[in-house]
Amino acid sequence: METDYNNIYLKQSNKSRLRRIPFYKELASHINQNDMVLDLGCGNGMLPIFSKFKKYKGIDFSEIAIEQAKRFCKTAKFICGDVITFIKKEKYTLVVLTEFLEHVDNDIEIITLIKKGSNVLISVPFDEPIINDRPKGYPTHKRSYTIQSFKSRYKDIKFEKIYVFNTWIIALGIKI
């Protein structure tokens, strides 16, 4: 699976990255200057470019994504590694899960491991069509989400705001 994601990041064009700037600006508007951010599945580091934060640490298992992140954003720290290790040991006030949960089988375990009382910022694709029991939009997606299915799947989070922005669900809440 790591090879698949390394290949995705190697093939991603600047045009593709530029097209997603409004999405990252929208997400960044929910990060405040005092947040200590732990970004799980940070990808190529686009989010911190548009964010203000006290401390930011991005974790991804794709070496290519982390290399790109380090080039794109010099003010944040990026580590290639397993997100579960970092959920358990890091200090954070905000956990970011952007375009991540739809890619992993153990999404519920990851949500469960987030420290109680932590703020959470999540984005997932909105209502992707299902073909042969899989979301059609992207070959590595494990599930499709509506707002209702999202809320019921991640009931360990008290959501304060959930809305659709372009083709994504964006949700803010607190881990209970």
Query: CA 59 from chain center: how many Å?
Result: 10
**Which range has the worst mean pLDDT, 11-15, 71-75, 115-119?**
11-15
* DSSP 3-state of 88: helix
Give the pLDDT of residue 16. Answer: 65
Phi, psi angles (nearest 5°) of residue 98: -105, 120
Element (H, E) at 148: helix 147-153
Query: CA 40 from chain center: how many Å?
Result: 6
Confidence of residue 8 (pLDDT cuts 50, 70, 90): low
What is the chain's Cα-based Rg? 15
Confidence of residue 20 (pLDDT cuts 50, 70, 90): confident
Which domains are present in the chain?
2-175 (3.40.50.150)
Give the pLDDT of residue 15. Answer: 61
* DSSP 3-state of 77: strand
Element (H, E) at 85: helix 83-89
* DSSP 3-state of 129: coil
The DSSP call for residue 103 is: G
Structure tokens at 173: 């809440």
Give the pLDDT of residue 2. Answer: 53
Report the pLDDT averaged over residues 138-166: 93
**Which range has the worst mean pLDDT, 8-12, 40-44, 146-150?**
8-12
Confidence of residue 77 (pLDDT cuts 50, 70, 90): very high
Give the pLDDT of residue 129. Answer: 76
Measured between alpha carbons, how far is 174 from 157 in angstroms, rounded to an integer? 5
87-134 residue pLDDT tens? 999 999 999 999 899 999 999 999 999 999 999 999 999 988 777 777
Give the pLDDT of residue 26. Answer: 97
With pLDDT > 90 as the criterion, what percentage of the chain qualifies? 67
Residue 62: partners with Cβ closer than 8 Å, 6 or more residues away: 2, 5, 6, 8, 9, 43, 80
